[in-house]
Amino acid sequence: MNKKANYKWLVLVVIMLTILSIPSFFWMRKDNNARAERSKSLLSPVIMVPGSSATTERFNQLIDELNKTTFKRHSVIKITVSREAKLTYSGAIGKNDLEPLIIIGFDNNKDGYTNIKKQAKWLNAAFKSLVQNYKFNNFKAFGHSNGGLIWTYWLEHYYAEYSGDIKIKKLMTLGTPYNFNESNINNRTQMLADFIRNRSKLPTYLKVYSLSGGKNYESDGIVPETSVAAGKFIFQNQVKNYTAITVTGEKADHSDLPQNKQVIQAIRQYLLKKPERPLKPNKRKENH
């Protein structure tokens, strides 16, 4: 093969490499732009996951109560994830709302450890979509009942792929049965054993608040107190802070906990940003 032929082959190779590199160049530029946009974002959503047999409507009353006594109303997005991981969105983030409430529910919202693993996978599909659409760099998480289990599994198995760009600041669980219905802590379920074994994957800077209902001294009517308290074996001495809180009084049983006034106050105090002005009930103008 003569020099002229060698030169033609060299030119051809260079052209082909250039063509192949163009998509990578634009992808890298798009990725860098997204990272830059995310790093400047002031958005800090609260992402909420309901428990078994509950839908994205589960927290409607809780949200209404929160918005009655807040300087800036929190807008709401609801996402339902199908068994095929298809997402159905409703709602929108309001203008200038830097702390929206995002509720993620599942078509398959059944109980059981096998389903919790599936739901954590579906949660990840929704989270990935949120990250792409809204470019936030931090968030807070809330889970009622099994919702807390789903968040814990997600943190141990999925969060690492985002941790370089997106920080979970706080996790609040409410009536979360870390040992399912087992009241004897010495009888650890497979789920609890797995959570404890994988606890080193939890972010060390995370602040965790575990709320339980005090209908009586043993349970909230459904979940044993010892099952909620088992969360300490997962989080204590692993995350930055682990705080256990028992709420009592009216609406302290398991199904009513999201509407409990102490729970709403705890969300306002520990999850949400401090208001710029003193809290006063929102007053709506009426036409006379």
Residue 251, Cβ density class (10 Å: 0-12 exposed, 13-18 middle, ≥19 buried):
middle
**pLDDT above 60: residue 262:** yes
**128 is written with which tokens?**
């990935």
Q: What pTM was computed for the model?
A: 0.83
Are the C-beta atoms of residues 191 and 116 closer than 8 Å to each other?
yes
In this prediction, residue 29 carries a pLDDT of 46
Instruction: Calculate the CA dihedral of residues 209, 214, 217, 219 and round it to 10 degrees.
Output: -80
pLDDT digits (tens, 9 = 90+) for 96-131: 999 999 999 999 999 999 999 999 999 999 999 999
Given a cut of 50, is residue 184 above it in pLDDT? yes
**23, pLDDT greater than 80:** no
Residue for token pair 């401090």? 274
Give mean pLDDT, residues 255-279. Answer: 84
> What pLDDT was estimated at residue 65?
93
Q: For residue 24, is pLDDT > 70?
A: no
Domains in the chain with CATH codes: 41-271 (3.40.50.1820)
Report the b/e string of 214-236 with b at 16+ CB within 10 A: bbeeebbebbbbbbbbbbebbbe
Residue 171 confidence (pLDDT) above 90: yes
pLDDT of residue 10: 72
Q: What is the mean pLDDT of residues 37-52?
A: 84
pLDDT top residue among 249 and 276: 249
**Residue 274 pLDDT > 80, yes or no?**
no
